Amino acid sequence: MSNPFPPRYLPTLTEVVTPIPVQPPAMPVLHATPLTSLALTEDVLKKITPLVERTLREVAHAQLDDHLNTLLPTLQGSIEAAVQQALQQTLLQSMVDSAVPTPGSCLTKESR
93: in domain: no
- CB within 8 A of 101, min separation 6: which ones? 107, 108, 109
Give the HSE-up count for residue 28: Cα atoms under 13 Å, Cβ half-sphere: 1
60: in domain: yes
Q: Per residue in 20-74, pLDDT tens? A: 777 776 666 555 556 678 888 888 899 999 999 999 999 999 999 999 999 998 9
Amino acid identity of residue 56, one-letter, is: L
82: in domain: yes
For residues 96 and 112, the answer to whether their CB atoms sit within 8 Å is yes
Question: What pLDDT sits at residue 66?
Answer: 92
DSSP the chain: ---SSPPS----HHHHSPPPPPPPPPPPP--SS---HHHHHHHHHHHHHHHHHHHHHHHHHHHHHHHHHHHHHHHHHHHHHHHHHHHHHHHHHHHHHHPPPPTT-S--TTT-
27: in domain: no
70: in domain: yes
24: in domain: no
Give the model's confidence band at 107: pLDDT under 50 very low, under 70 low, under 90 confident, else very high.
Answer: low
- CB within 8 A of 112, min separation 6: which ones? 96
106: in domain: no
Indicate the number of domains in the chain.
1
pTM: 0.39
Structural domain of residue 46, as residue ranges? 36-86
52: in domain: yes
